[in-house]
């Protein structure tokens, strides 16, 4: 059965050392002046600014970009009314829950088309592609770019494994990949890790 091709961003899976997963969640705000929507599963980066909401100071984040340094992955947009959207709409102030654990492992779908990644690519690094938020469900449009895998240490994500589930066609051999299959990854350049420049 062919894999679905719709991207869903990054989904938290576990800690890389298989230890107890406690999520490592922090609240961040989004500056109303930022015109890019942010979905659940999007990588985000510190904006270098803060907001005061109901008397509380929050650090601002913006949607991450290819080649960026990331603060973590959005796991929820906190509702501010019963009619709140399931994602952060463009140019709105919203509180986001972000997984900031630099030891977290995530699942991500590779882009549709191109040359599919294979099990032999585990251990390499690769960039993300950034797509539009799915406004019906609030999902991220980010995917793993299967044209960028390399040993380069500045690429966005490190490939740590391949999802082996009945609904994920992985290919017929370790060196043969299947279109739109999913992989496990870690954030390669994390803003809360050691030896990373400040914002």
Residue 127 and residue 155 in contact, taking contact as beta carbons nearer than 8 Å: yes
Mean pLDDT of the chain: 91
CA 194/CA 76 separation, integer angstroms = 26
Q: How much is the pLDDT for 193?
A: 81
Is residue 187 very low, low, confident or very high in pLDDT (cuts 50, 70, 90)? very high
pLDDT digits (tens, 9 = 90+) for 107-126: 999 999 889 999 999 999 99
Identify the residue whose tokens are 């740590």.
160
CA 64/CA 133 separation, integer angstroms = 13
pLDDT digits (tens, 9 = 90+) for 139-169: 999 999 999 999 999 999 999 999 888 888 8
186 pLDDT higher than 90: yes
Residues whose CB is less than 8 angstroms from the CB of residue 195 and which lie 6 or more positions away in sequence, other chains included: none
Q: How much is the pLDDT for 142?
A: 97
Tell which residue, 3, 59, 2, 54, has the closest CA to residue 27: 59
CA 154/CA 27 separation, integer angstroms = 27
5-9, 40-44, 101-105, 171-175: the lowest-pLDDT one: 171-175
For 170, other C-beta atoms within 10 Å of its C-beta total 21
Terminal-to-terminal C-alpha distance of the chain: 45
CA 141/CA 180 separation, integer angstroms = 13
Element (H, E) at 157: strand 157-162
Q: How much is the pLDDT for 5?
A: 85
CA 179/CA 23 separation, integer angstroms = 30
């Amino acid at each position: 059965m062919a894999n679905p091709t719709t991207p869903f961003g990054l989904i938290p899976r576990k800690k890389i050392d298989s230890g107890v997963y406690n999520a490592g969640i922090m609240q961040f705000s989004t500056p109303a002046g930022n015109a890019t929507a942010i979905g659940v599963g999007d990588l985000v980066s510190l904006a270098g600014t803060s907001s005061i909401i109901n008397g509380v100071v929050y650090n601002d984040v913006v949607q991450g970009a290819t080649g960026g340094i990331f603060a973590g992955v959005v796991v929820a947009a906190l509702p501010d009314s019963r009619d709140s959207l399931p994602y952060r709409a463009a140019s709105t102030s919203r509180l986001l829950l972000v997984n900031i654990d630099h030891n977290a492992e995530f699942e991500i779908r590779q882009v549709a088309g191109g040359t599919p990644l294979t099990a032999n690519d585990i251990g390499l690094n690769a960039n993300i592609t950034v797509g539009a938020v799915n406004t019906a469900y609030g999902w991220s449009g980010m995917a793993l770019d299967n044209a960028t895998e390399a040993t380069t240490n500045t690429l966005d994500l490190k490939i740590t494994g391949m999802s082996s589930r009945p609904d994920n066609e992985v290919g017929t051999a370790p060196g043969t990949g299947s279109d739109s299959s999913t992989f496990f990854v870690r954030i390669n350049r994390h803003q809360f890790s050691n030896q990373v420049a400040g914002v």
